Structure 1
């Protein structure tokens, strides 16, 4: 099944709340924002999917990103991503806006570092392969074809918007897309005060080779969170340093077609090639902030005998390579590639992470450091009464279910052929 055509992309600038923050505070602040925006962007009864990029602008309570490794900041940022994606799912359920389905929305989230004064001049505007976390100048220089920019009301949001627009206009006098401000609500004060929950517990291992695995069938928000967290964890080289120029390597294991033959609604399971292409397109969108990504991109198609022999390898410059590998067993390259040092999992696949490390121990290899992303939670955006409503809960869960997407596509196919 070919990817669904997309309309032009919209951008929402969303200020991150001061740490420590809670899902309740995020809901109080931005549920009304998303309720106003999401229905506006969709084209019901269309085969297209409109796209919304949400750029979360980090607050001063987050550590300055140049001074902290991706490993150390991972817990804070993956929580921020998970809570925001959960809020999007909740609002989609309430407003009956489809996500990652024809006539609906494709939402993608990354983070912006606004504190130029704290960054080296050798980094500002040059973090072209540092997504999903880049400085504002790099982000604007990528010249993404946004047809509209949305922001929220308030002093902090206005300051961020001004920074983005000023940077936009400095690009040889480029005209920024149309702007619109959206309502927002008050953040709920956290009883723990205003101190950041980040604690420097000493040196942590920096990871240059990171792996993740999944079916990635009909890519949805759960997949997007997992992939974004994986890309986040792989430590980029610093343009300011001549040391540690070792390139990053990301392994994305994608379940082979033969292992999916018994899936429900199997007639609309996407082929491995389609799942690989859609996964790679998403990863590029949150990783690469370059004026011309094709100019630094190289794609190789590898098909060798044996396990993990079918690979689409995408390389960007000499900084990062991504292997999209067909997996035909529960382990994939994590037990055939000793150089991998970290594995990103969801809560549902915790047992798989342990099984991988058991196998590596049997081989005398170093165990992988396992990083777990949060489970998407309806409580991040729905009230208790709404969570208790069976239909609302089903609406939320349908946003993060490949099976539910396949069911609806199967029924549409059956109806059309009947």
Structure 2
């Protein structure tokens, strides 16, 4: 890592496909790799209060195959894969006492990589540029040419990792990397053979194209549970190059207004609505915008209108993709004021909210929303003595409690 950089350290980790979609297998093949990459990032922080960023690109065979397009056809397995990675990140950080999304710690973001070793010629730098694609599913060339200034790029030091790194290196402008080169191996990586048919179609509520997706939440003290929910929402959004040409696509995030949170535990340590919107928008941009650097920064528009859902932040995160962060002051938000919404994303613990929303839309004679459920990250895979610490990393309430305890010291 470059030691003289003013900006926080950043890295990319290229992960080959796992042997199977089971958390035990994810832990077996990825835990040691994540631990060593995290250690390298912490070393580069050198005890400072900066936050190191890590993009994790997990390649999956069959990701862009016809049976799995659009991604909503394979939503069940895709969100499960993302959940496994974020859960493992939580386990590793808990067991090694690493902060997540906090000063002196690591901010890890997961995207899915459309790369299959049997189609590696597709990634050749001699081919014309690929069609625009929006994350969280990206092809290898888009990832490599995104212009992100990674200090280091890591890959497992085994045959499947080396194959992925070789393909990435063929189209990566390494001379522009602050770290001074291309991918570097993670020593001591385990050996494994990637599984087949990891992405399974036919597990979701709907398999159509959704140009307008919504979810809601508090998004206080941003953590990996929020990351999973937002990534799943981005997976539901209609992919680039599908549907009608030039059709606008949007993600609406209903962010609970401050007035509704006064009775929350440790309310004095709640972040403001603006802070919660900012972290939510920054994360969605980080997993969806892999456009070339010359595009420039996203412009944020502040909206204040009378009536329900009148306060919002709106930004363009890619051409034809708009992100709307709307202040909600009731349980329904825009789901009962905007008829053209087509899909709703909820966590499994709030599934009843989806049914309530569709009941209200039915009263208005509106089309029902396709509801997509996302798994909840839980602490079953950490040791008994680490359960409380794990909860403090994935629960906004526990994060606020910890802030209160620190303030009292």
Structure 2 contact 174–181 (Cα < 8 Å) conserved: no
Following superposition of structure 1 onto structure 2, how do residues 354-393 of structure 1 map, counting pairs within 5 Å? 354-379=355-380, 381-382=381-382, 386=383, 389=384, 391-393=385-387
Correspondence for 2:159: 155
CA contact (8 A) 1:124 1:137 kept: no
What is the aligned partner in structure 1 of residue 189 from structure 2?
184
| SS at structure 1 position matched to 2:95 | helix
Give the aligned partner of residue 401 of structure 1.
Answer: 395
Superposition deviation, residue 162 in structure 1:
0.9
Measured in 2, the distance between the counterparts of 1:78 and 1:7 equals: 29
Find the aligned partners of 1:231 and 1:189 in 2 and give their Cα distance.
Answer: 25
Aligned to 2:405, which of 400, 411, 417?
411
- Is 2:132 aligned against 1:138? no
Query: Which residue does 1:50 correspond to in 2?
Result: 52
CA contact (8 A) 1:78 1:373 kept: yes
2:3 equivalent in structure 1: none
Q: Secondary structure at the match of 1:297?
A: coil
**Worse-superposed segment, 29-38 or 223-232:** 29-38
Map 1:179-258; keep pairs closer than 5 Å: 179-186=184-191, 194-195=196-197, 198-199=200-201, 204-238=207-241, 243-258=244-259
- Structure 1 residue 23: Cα displacement: 0.9
* Contact persistence 1:342–1:369 (CA under 8 A): yes
Hey, what does 2:39 align to over in structure 1? Answer: 39
Q: Tell me the equivalent position of 1:271.
A: 272
Query: Residues 67 and 354 from structure 1, CA distance in 2 versus in 1: closer, same or farther, beyond 3 angstroms?
Result: closer
Residue aligning to 2:171: 167
Q: Aligned with 1:355: secondary structure?
A: helix
Match in the other structure for 2:71: 70
Whether the aligned pair in 2 keeps the contact of 1:147 and 1:178 (CA below 8 Å) is no
Separation (CA, whole Å) in 2 of partners of 1:410 and 1:45: 23
**CA distances 1:292-348 after superposition (whole Å, capped 9, x unpaired):** 375373322110001100011112454111110000001110111111110111111
Cα 1:244–1:152, aligned 2, differ >3 Å: closer, same or farther?
A: same
User: C-alpha separation between the residues in 2 aligned to 1:170 and 1:394?
Assistant: 42
Within-5 A mapping of 1:113-132 = 113-114=114-115, 115=119, 125-126=129-130, 128-132=132-136
Corresponding residue SS for 1:168: coil
Match of 2:25 in 1: 25
Q: Which whole-Å CA distance do the structure 2 matches of 1:377 and 1:200 have between them?
A: 25
- Could you tell me which runs of 5 or more consecutive residues in structure 1 were left unpaired when the two chains were aligned: none
Please state if 1:338 is matched with 2:318.
Answer: no
1:95-127 CA deviation, whole Å, 9 max, x = no partner? 1112122222111110111246569x9x97445
Say whether the 8 Å CA contact 2:209–2:243 is kept in structure 1: no
Structure 1 Cα separation of the partners of residues 46 and 396 of structure 2: 20
- In 1, Cα distance between equivalents of 2:175 and 2:49: 35
Structure 1: how far apart are the matches of 2:364 and 2:102? Answer: 43
Aligned length, in residue pairs: 396
Segment of structure 1 superposing worse, 295-304 or 224-233: 295-304
- Structure 1 residues 256 and 65: alpha-carbon distance in aligned structure 2, compared to 1, 3 A threshold: farther
Q: 370-379 vs 249-258, which deviates more?
A: 370-379
Q: Give the superposed CA RMSD.
A: 3.0
C-alpha separation in 2, matches of 1:199 and 1:284: 27
Q: Is the 8 A contact 1:357 1:368 kept in 2?
A: yes
State the match for 2:17 in structure 1. 16
Structure 2 gaps, min length 5: 1-5
Which stretch shows the higher mean deviation, 133-142 or 31-40? 31-40
Give the TM-score taking structure 2 as reference length. Answer: 0.87
1:25-48 per-position Cα deviation (integer Å, ceiling 9, x unaligned): 111111122232323323486422
The superposition leaves residues 180-237 of structure 1 with CA deviations (integer Å, 9 ceiling, x where unpaired) of 42433355999xxx55562469993211110011111111000001111111210123
Q: 1:90: Cα distance to partner?
A: 0.9
- Contact 2:169–2:182 under 8 Å retained in 1: no
